[in-house]
Structure formats: structure tokens, C-alpha cells
Structure 1
Amino acid sequence: MPSSLPGGQSAAHAWFQTPAGRAVVDAQASPVADALRQRPGQHWLWLGPGATAGPEDARGLRLAVAEGGWQGDIACSLPLPLPNESFATAVLQHAVPAGGEADALLAEVARILVPGGRVWMFVLNPLSPYRWRWRGTGLSAAEPLTWRRRLRRHGLVPDPVSQGVGPSWRVEAASPPQHGPGLRAAYLLQAEKRELPLTPLRQRAALRLPQGVPAA
């Protein structure tokens, strides 16, 4: 039986179990499935709201946002109790707990990803009219530029264009993801873990002595 953290799901993330919140999460089902299929035979991590079950794949770890951390097959908070460079894909679906530090989570994700591993991050869009439906819940939203800066700080190189997902205002099934966030309730931002190449040492130029001066 999955373990749980005291308090269970956070009050803020309980919004994703309301009809308005479910419409956002359900619209992300297809891209989440795409993410988990990207690296067959390699491990994936999926942090997200609610009790949505992951695929029957022993290589995956699905954890739900809870009060103070995440719960599922394990119950944990930061730092994640996972080995370095052990996952090829990380899905962060509205995964930062209320009051949690986004930078601390991204640092941990960068640590557990293999070089070339991918992050699929689903976040709320502060420019969407749908924001009035999560107003007062304690959920936070930020524009893509803010998240790109955070990702780069931890060696995660973001794709130049994000995808808008979910409804814009009505609580209904949304059309497929669109190019750019637009007015969609949320957007998908992908990034890749890249290691900085070692800089080769420059060879020093041979010392030229003026004519007539003997070398030592």
C-alpha cells in the first residue's frame, strides 16, 4: 500500500481534484504519456497532483503532491531520496508543493537526470483567464521566461518555445496543445540536461629570445 505523509494532499493542490482542476490535468494526459514513452527501457519520474495512476512500468516512479512533499510508493520531501543520474525523464506536473522552493526542486531534478535527460514541466499560465478559477487557492503561476531562467541556473537548457495546454476559460475538454502558451490555463516547457564540456588547456607559445641572448 502506498505510504503517505501527515496531512495528505496539500490544500492548494486539492484544487486539481475539482472539475475546473481536472479539466486542466486531463488535457495534459496525452503529452504526459508521450513523455513517459520517450526513453523506452530507461527510468522515469513523474511528480504530479492527485492519484492519477502511471503506466504499468516497473521502471517508473509516480508520486503525488502532498503536504510538505510527495507520496506514493515512497513518501518524501526534498532532497529526493534517489540516486544521482538515475532517470532519463522527469515529468513535473504542477509539482512544486505549496510553499515549496522551485529552485530546490529543479536542483534535485538536475541531479537525478542522466546527461541528455529531459524535463517535461507543466505549469499554470498567469496570463490565462482561467486563473480566476484557481484564484485564492494558494497556487502560484509564472511566465515561461521566469521558468527558463530557473532551469538554466541548474544546467537544464529549455526549449525555445513552450506549448499551451488545457482550456482557456470554459471548464471543458480542450483542443490539442498549441504553439506558445496563449491564453491556455497551463503550458508545457521542456528542457534538457547538458554537461558543460571540459575546456582544453591552451598550449603556451614557445618563448622567443632576442638574437644574441643565449638560452639557459
Structure 2
Amino acid sequence: MPAFEFSRQPDALAWFDAGRGQALLAAETVAAGQWLTLRPAQPALWLSPAPARPPVVLHGFSRQLWLWRHPDGFSGDLRCELPLPLPSEAFGSIVVQHVQEAGSATDLLGECARVLAPGGRLRLYTLNPLSPYRWRWRGAALRVRDAASWQGALRQVGLHPLAAGAGYQGPLLRGTAMAPHLSFNRFRAVCVLEAEKRVAALIPPAPARRRWNTGAAHA
């Protein structure tokens, strides 16, 4: 197994612990919970940047694993580092809230792709560098990218970005109001991307050609 290098940046995700960052995270959590209720058939993995536990939304069963990232790795339902000590293809849905913006994005998304089941979906919440709201997180040491860059990162680890699941949420400049539905306004604070794990279909064997056995003797 390749070695993983976990980027230790103590203050990278601290912006989400209070104030505007905390309010954005809380609003995202409501929207992500609504998304998960539409996908209850398989277990879900939820990765967040702060220790506030999201609600259990999958009918109250223990089918949701929650981890939050900190400078030493992850805590929550498990205490671990990358690579995640989780079986491959174990989750039908994954929510990632800004954890990738602290560094080690390729390793993190690669692990998400590994533990996501075929046909499973990943919802990625990212800060939008095109939004005027970016001045609110200026100096927070977050590694913020635009939507096209994150879509490329998802493809790099073998996931297929879905245009229908992409959109924007959050305020434009002031406040923290955030409707649960997606908007096409590219200047809102948060960009939401969705990707699917697809597996190439096996090529069936060529059908056998029918032919007469001309060497058979007649009765």
C-alpha cells in the first residue's frame, strides 16, 4: 500500500469552528442531511472539519459513520489517519465538508473513491474562490480551488462528476443565510459538487457460432 503523507496544518480548518464559518457549516449540514435521506439504502460516511456531530439522518439506524479532521488526523466514531481503516466499497454515500481544503486532497479523495461502492455518490462542499464572501475566510490558510479544479481532482481518483448535482449555496457578501436548495449563482459562498463511482461493464463473450457437424453419420 502506498504511503500517505498527512498535511498537518493546525489552523487550516479553524475558520469553521466559530462565527461565519460555523454558520456556513451548520447550514450545509442541514442540506447534506436532506440529501442523505434520499439515499438510505446503503451506509453513509460523513467527513467534516469541526467536532460538531451532524444529525443521524438514516432513519435512526447506526448506518452513518462520522469523522472530523484535526491536525493529528481524524476523530469521531473512529480515531485514525490516512489511509482510512475502512473496507473498500463499503459506503453508498459520502459527504465531504471542506476537509479536503486543509491539504492532502488527492490522498483524501482517493480514499473516498476506494471506500465508495459502485454506483455510490459523493457530495463535496467547497468554498467558492469567485464569491465576494471569500474576504471572510481570507488568511485562514485554506487551500481553496474553483469548481473546475475540484472536478478534475475527482476525475483523477476515478470518480465521475455529475452536472445535475452541482450548484452553489450560501450568502454572496454578508450574512450567513443559506437555502437548502442549489442555485446557479456562481458568486455564492459555497460550491457543491456531486460525483459517482462508475464501474465499466464487463464485455460479454462473443456468442458461439452455430454450425452443422457434417462428420456425423446418418442413422
> Please, what TM-score do these two structures have when normalized by structure 1?
0.82
Q: Is the 8 A contact 2:28 2:180 kept in 1?
A: no
Retained in 1: the 8 A contact 2:126–2:144? Answer: yes
Distance 1:144 1:201 in 2: 40
Structure 1 residues 60, 76: closer, same or farther in 2, change over 3 A? same
In 2, distance between residues paired with 1:175 and 1:42?
A: 26
Gaps of 5+ in 2: 1-7, 208-219
Query: CA-atom RMSD, angstroms?
Result: 2.4
Determine the C-alpha separation between the residues in 1 that align with 2:23 and 2:61.
25
Q: Which of 131, 134, 137 in structure 2 is aligned with 1:131?
A: 134
User: Is 14-23 or 166-175 further displaced after alignment?
Assistant: 166-175
Secondary structure of the structure 2 residue equivalent to 1:22:
helix
Give the drift of 1:26: 2.2
Q: Which residue of 1 aligns with 2:85?
A: 81
Structure 2 CA distance for partners of 1:62 and 1:181, relative to 1, 3 Å: farther
Q: Give the corresponding residue for 2:18.
A: 18
Normalising by structure 2, we get a TM-score of 0.81
Alpha-carbon deviations, 1:54-102, whole Å to 9, x = none? 315311111111114211121111111000111101100111262x321
| Structure 2 partner of 1:190 | 194
Give aligned-pair identity as a percent.
Answer: 42
Residue in structure 2 matched with residue 48 of structure 1 by the alignment:
48
- The equivalent of 1:141 in structure 2 is 144
Amino acid at match of 2:20: A
How far residue 171 of structure 1 moved from its aligned partner, in angstroms, is 2.6
8 Å contact 2:87–2:115 — kept in the other structure?
Answer: yes
The answer to whether structure 1 residue 169 and structure 2 residue 173 are counterparts is: yes
Q: Write the distance in 2 (CA, Å) between the matches of 1:117 and 1:178.
A: 20
Corresponding pairs, count: 197
Which ranges of 4 or more aligned residues in structure 1 deviate by more than 6 Å?
none
> 1:28 — aligned with what?
28
- Which runs of 5 or more residues in structure 1 are unaligned? 1-7, 204-216
Deviation at 1:123, TM superposition (A): 0.5
